[in-house]
Structure 1
Amino acid sequence: MSDTEQELNAQKREMPEPVEGSRPIPWVVLVIVGAVFVSALTYLGMSKQVNDPSIGDHRVAADFVVAKGSTTGPVDGAQVYAAQCVACHQATGAGLPGVFPPLAGSEWVLGKPSVAVQIVLHGIDGSLTVKGTVYKGQMPTFKDKLSDKEIAAVLSHVRSSFGNQAGKIDDALVKAQRAATQSHEKPWNGDAELASLK
């Protein structure tokens, strides 16, 4: 038997390559898919999409809008806190252990108001000791992001929340502190620089 004949015999033993047929989708499958689609539309049309008010923390989108301080109206410090601070310091002011320092009972929050203002204005980059624990994170600067009224409002909120009982801070103090350190461009170097401001 020649090589050509052997190749032909080998090809005859092979199964043909499969091809896609033109069979239509079975009617049963189409009926099932159609029934599921119609039932889904019926459910959406008949169901009431009202959330139970007892679920969640009762905040709405307006609670997360940072109130822009006008020259006449007050700024809501809680709103500024929710928009700018809550991600790190948490809703309870307890921070995240070992990562972000607490504001509740913090000597930096309850101490001299001018120091708290400086921290918010310029931020911190370096080791900072809070309630005996050293934190090595970084706090952003807010001098270009928040107005004097907003900084005063958020600090007043923090100093009177989370169990803290310190006095309010007015925007005149923030304005004076901003002017006094206008040339300070870098964040404070944690304890190394802030300790002298205490």
Structure 2
Amino acid sequence: MTEPRFSQQQREQPEPSEGSRPVPKLVLSVIAGLLIWAVYYLYATYNPMPPSLGDNRVAADFAVPVSADGGQLYTAHCVACHQANGKGLPGVFPPLSGSEWVSAKDPGVMIKIVLHGVQGPLTVEGAKYEGLMPHFHDKFSDEEIAALVNHVRTGFGNSASTTDARYVAQVREETRDQATPWKGDEDLRPLLRSR
């Protein structure tokens, strides 16, 4: 007796085939029933709210008035140099705590510094600081500058008077021609003495 030519193929099982096995009618009936029930449920429970039931408020009624927070502004823009305690870094960044610039009788001195920045030697509590303080005239609104100045003038052990956005606007207008930062003591000492 002779073996078939490809005996390996004869030992293998035939490839499986799907054949004609339809989805059971029971499963199709359950799916169709769920679909019909879902459509009916959406139709039966739809309840549009007529505008007459509302309280007639508009989106503007939900607006929360935002006021500037001097502490947040200080933390975001000043704490890296002047530190969280306002004592600065000796020899590098001047302190705000006890500074004659902060506690000046007129808050306009500090407002001018915040508005236009400082570049050059500045003496604070007898110590000289050489550096650059950035300007904030185009970054902060009048209300934000007032909040920041008030935070510094009443914090860190300081007890100077406060200011408001109107006074900041006045100082901004007075110094609108100041295109460069103040030149440290050279420009600022006369401001301190004149107030």
Q: How does 1:61-76 map to 2 (within 5 A)?
A: 73-76=66-69
* Structure 1 position 183, deviation (Å): 1.1
Letter in 2 for 1:143: H
Cα distance in 1 for partners of 2:129, 2:146 equals 25
Provide the residue aligned with 2:190 in structure 1.
196
Q: How does 1:18-167 map to 2 (within 5 A)?
A: 73-111=66-104, 112-167=106-161
SS at match of 2:102: helix
Provide the residue aligned with 2:169 in structure 1.
175
Letter in 2 for 1:105: G
CA RMSD across the alignment: 1.5
Cα distance in 2 for partners of 1:161, 1:113 equals 14
Provide the residue aligned with 1:22 in structure 2.
none
1:147-170 CA-partner distances (Å, limit 9, x unpaired): 111110011000111111111111
* Structure 1 position 74, deviation (Å): 2.3
* Structure 1 position 83, deviation (Å): 0.4
Provide the residue aligned with 1:25 in structure 2.
none
* Structure 1 position 144, deviation (Å): 0.6
Which has the larger Rg? 2
Cα distance in 1 for partners of 2:98, 2:118 equals 19
Cα distance in 2 for partners of 1:158, 1:86 equals 11
Cα distance in 2 for partners of 1:146, 1:75 equals 10
SS at match of 1:87: helix
Q: How does 1:2-17 map to 2 (within 5 A)?
A: none
| Structure 1: gaps of 5 or more residues | 1-69
| Structure 2: gaps of 5 or more residues | 1-62
